[in-house]
Amino acid sequence: MLNEDMKKSYKDLVEAHDFAHTGNWEMDMIQIQKRFQVLVQQSSDVFEIISPDFTIQYISPAVEKIIGYTPEERIGKNALEFLEMEQKQEFIKMVDYVLECPEERMQGDLALKDQNGKVSYLTYTISNQLQEPSIRGIVINWRDITDRIENQKQIEYIATHDELTKLPNRVALKKKICQLCEENADLNYNFALIMLDIDGFRYINDALGYQLGDQLIIQVKSRLQGFLGENEFLCRYTGDQFAIIIQNMNQSWEYEQVVKKIAMLFKDAYKVDLYELDMTVSLGISMYPHDERDPDLLINYANISLLRSKHEGKNRYKFYSSEIGIQIYKQVVLRNDLLKAIERKQFQVYYQAQVELESSDILAAEALIRWDHPEWGMVSPNEFISLAEETGFIINLGNWMLNEVCKTYKSWMEQGMAPIKVSVNYSSIQFFEKNFVDNIITIINQYELNPHFLIMEITESVFMKNPEKAIVDIKRLQYQGIQVALDDFGTGFSSLSYLNSFNIDILKIDRSFIKNVMMDDASTIITRSVIDLAQELRIKLVAEGIENQEQLKYLKGANCYSGQGYLYNKPMPSDEFVQLLAKKKCLPTQLLNEKKTGKEHRKYLRIKLPKLLEADMSIRKRPEQNFNVGSVKVEVKNISSEGLCFAAGVRLPVNNELQLEFLIPTKDGKEAKICGYPVWAQETENSWYEYGVEFDHSPSEKIDLTMELYSLCKEMYNYN
């Protein structure tokens, strides 16, 4: 018979299960029990009950699907039997915990091998049900998450491997180096990071096409892998650059032996398709911990050394040395960061007006790319376009650029601006893209724009690298209404036959001629002839780089139709340019006056030096982190108690995190050490920059320094 309590439990149970109860409690209980049995048996999860000594009391049938054993084979066995040592300990700890704290649940993951060695990934929860009369054991609920983990692994694999060679990629390299540095921080341990780059690969790719280039890369990988074996780390770092890690050699010359052997792997020619290619490689090496302990800097240093091998004539190796210099360091940083710069939204498009010289009407805008780099500030395209060409990244960059230009142009039109043209620069490498013209048209169509607004600026290298394709592509572009301008005319071969055979619409005379017009005869004669020639051939002419009224006067006198240059406007962001566009005209203004006379930047009395003072400048990112990248020669123009002004051939960002250190030779072969950070910069001539530096010294140091500088100046004046 049921007592009152049992009756209530029975009633609750039947209600909770929305059960069509028969009124016969025994029958009903059997039904409910049956229901749970079916649920447990059909579930893909595994339910297991073990005793505190780990003996399996019950396990549901799903276990067979996961580890291949039937419940009968498992019941009575020890639950730890199938676990690896580490997993065992983890599992025992969790069971101990729920035994101690019965109200808690524990959760964990583990990997289990089935009878055939296939690994399944499981997640489980453990709860203590020893006090529950119907169970009297520890309940473990297992769920198979193999699919999820395999998916994650697949995604991880794709993110860290190169598709062509199946080798780890640069993301994996960084991870590997971080792991090695972390694991071995306190040990007497070392490794060499070797960067290897195929010399002249770009030309092989250009001449023979990407498919053969790819075959070559695969063969290079096989040779390297054959030599290194399975245990050494080999990765495809970028297009034709591989990275290798060699670990734990006793002496540095042993590393050198390995590097030599790697270089020797390339002495036999490669057979690719019908071609036999003789190739060489350049190598750059950095050493952990000797050169650096920081993974990013180690990679940078290996890249710097590689670049140095290339600069010194290729087919050689270079170990890192701090003598390398700031300019190469900057190139390495830029090369490293370039690929990510689109997604990090670091590019911008600036616009410069092309003006009809007689009327000052704006005819077109030249779109010029800018890279706002977090460390180096605004980087000029001259510093990164060739890097983008080397890696093939120029294709993505070109697409990004055209998208931006279309977006901006559409917004100008929507704001009711006059329908000028926009001139976009294209690199010869972009002509190697298979669907080059179609891609351009697709992008323009996306913005519902008429292709007539676009001018494509190319240089003569387009005709030299791939003339057949260039002729076809240019015709197709012109058929769509896109005009083609030949940029920088006069700097390359300047073959006049190009003008005819390629049916160029616009010719741009390079600014080097405009700069010297009226100053040297050759430039004046060439400029004059190019203007006449363009008129005869009915090609529109743009004079580049007009900087002053004299040049403008000459060009107007010679009937030059249009031009651009700082005299009209410096390239500017689109929101500023649109204000200019709204006026329709862009008048020549002597902007450069300001530059010529030199802007007054200094607040303090400065000591003007009788002659430029040569100093060594090195760069540090922050005071506590010394960048070991050597120094560059600079010319100090003047000094005050608070700062100095110097000129250098390297472009630096203006940023107070950038510590500069100057070593200025003083009396008796000694040196004064001055530290500061740049507070302003300006371009003076081609690739030559002037900077103002504010000193970063304590007041007492400043007094000493001023005394020292004062005596130095006195000496210079006496000497003069």
Binding site for Mg ion (CB under 5 A): 425, 457, 487-488, 544
- Number of chain residues interacting with ligand C2E (CB under 6 A): 23
- Angle between the 394-414 and 381-391 helix axes, to the nearest 10 degrees? 130
Among residues 544 and 547, whose Cβ is nearest to Mg ion? 544
Which of residues 169 and 459 has its CB atom nearest to Mg ion in the complex? 459
Q: Which span sits near ligand C2E by CB under 6 A: 28-36, 317-325, 543-551, 630-638? A: 543-551
Q: Residue 319, CB half-sphere, CA atoms under 13 Å: how many?
A: 16
Neighbours of 120 (CB within 10 A): 18
Subset of residues 282 to 311 that bind ligand C2E, contact rule: CB under 6 A:
none
Letters for 430-469 (x = contact with ligand C2E by CB under 6 A, - = none) are ---------------------------x------------
Looking up tokens 């940083």 gives 333
Which residue from 571, 588, 676, 678 is in contact with ligand C2E, where contact means CB under 6 A? 571
- Which partner, ligand C2E, Mg ion, none, binds residue 545 by CB below 5 to 8 Å per kind? ligand C2E
- Which residue's structure tokens are 């406007």? 569
CA-to-CA separations, 35 to 41, 67, 72, 318, in angstroms, rounded: 10, 26, 22, 75
Residue 545 binding ligand C2E, by CB under 6 A: yes
How does DSSP classify residue 515?
A: H
266 scored as a contact of ligand C2E (CB under 6 A): no
Q: Is 490 in the site for ligand C2E (CB under 6 A)?
A: no
Q: How far is the CB of 513 from Mg ion (least distance, A)?
A: 11
Q: Are 58 and 41 in contact (CB under 8 A)?
A: no
How many CB atoms lie under 10 A from the CB of residue 655?
Answer: 14
Q: Is 390 in the site for ligand C2E (CB under 6 A)?
A: no
Selected from 142, 201, 233, 566, the binder of ligand C2E by CB under 6 A is 566
**Cis omega (within 30 of 0) on the bond before 289?**
yes
Residue 335: closest CA among 237, 459, 448, 233: 237
Nearer to ligand C2E, 249 or 681 (CB): 681
- Closer CB to ligand C2E, residue 87 or residue 399? 399
Q: Annotate each residue in 492-531 with x if it binds ligand C2E (CB under 6 A) or - if it does not, as one string.
A: -------------------x--------------------
CB 629 within 8 A of CB 321: no
CB 270 to ligand C2E: min, Å: 31
Number of residues assigned to the chain: 720
Q: Give the CA distances from residue 8 to residues 28, 131, 292, in Å, rounded to whole numbers and listed in that order.
A: 14, 21, 75
* Binding test (CB under 6 A) with ligand C2E, winner from 60, 241, 427, 574: 427
Q: Which is nearer to ligand C2E, 305 or 427 (CB)?
A: 427
Nearest approach in angstroms of CB 352 to ligand C2E is 6
Strands (E), 146-224: 191-198
- Candidates 235, 302, 328, 368: give the one binding ligand C2E (CB under 6 A): 368
Give the binding range for ligand C2E (CB under 6 A) out of 11-19, 60-68, 381-389, 576-584.
381-389
Residue 382 beta carbon to ligand C2E: minimum distance, rounded to whole angstroms: 5
Q: Kindly indicate which of the ranges 100-108, 221-229, 327-335, 564-572 contains the residues binding ligand C2E, using the contact rule CB under 6 A.
A: 564-572
CA distances from 162 to 61, 105, 157, 173, 217 (A): 42, 43, 9, 12, 12
Residue whose structure tokens are 């103002």: 692
For residue 380, state whether it binds ligand C2E (rule: CB under 6 A). Answer: yes
Q: Which of 565, 630, 676, 692 binds ligand C2E (CB under 6 A)?
A: 565
The structure tokens 């003047």 sit at 638
d(CA 304, CA 289): 17
Question: What residues pair up with 106 in beta bridges, in sequence order?
Answer: 126
In 3D space, the residue among 469, 541, 549, 464 whose CA is nearest the CA of residue 509 turns out to be 541
- Using CB under 6 A as the binding rule, whether residue 552 contacts ligand C2E is answered as no
The encoded tokens of residue 227 equal 């030599």
534 lies in the site for ligand C2E, by CB under 6 A: no
Residue (of 396, 390, 331) closest to 369 by Cα position:
396
Residues 6+ apart with CB under 8 A from 380: 370, 651
Tell me which of ligand C2E, Mg ion, none is bound by residue 48, counting a contact when its beta carbon lies within the kind-specific cut-off of 5 to 8 angstroms: none
Do 366 and 423 meet the contact criterion of CB atoms below 8 Å apart?
yes
> Cα separation of 396 and 399, whole Å?
5
User: Under the criterion CB under 6 A, does residue 487 sit at the interface with ligand C2E?
Assistant: yes
Three-state secondary structure call for residue 393: coil
Given Mg ion, ligand C2E, none, residue 565, with its beta carbon under 5 to 8 Å by kind, binds ligand C2E
CA dihedral of residues 387, 391, 392, 394 (deg, nearest 10)? -30
Binding site partner of 337, from ligand C2E, Mg ion, none, Cβ cut-off 5-8 A by kind: none
**Smallest distance from the beta carbon of 425 to ligand C2E, in angstroms?**
4
Check binding of 385 to ligand C2E (CB under 6 A).
Answer: yes
Contact 569, 370 (CB under 8 A): no
Site for ligand C2E contains 369 (CB under 6 A): yes
Residue 193 interacting entry, from Mg ion, ligand C2E, none, C-beta within 5 to 8 Å by type: none
Nearer to Mg ion, 124 or 426 (CB): 426
- Stretch touching ligand C2E by CB under 6 A, among 249-257, 336-344, 544-552, 659-667: 544-552
Q: For residues 498 and 662, which CB has a smaller minimum distance to Mg ion in the complex?
A: 498
Nearest approach, Cβ of residue 419 and Mg ion (Å): 21
Q: Which has the closest alpha carbon to 301: 324, 281, 317, 282?
A: 324
Which residue is listed with tokens 């805008």? 365
Q: Minimal distance in Å, beta carbon 504 to Mg ion?
A: 14
Residues that bind ligand C2E (CB under 6 A): 352, 368-369, 380-382, 385, 401, 425-427, 457, 487-488, 511, 544-547, 564-566, 571
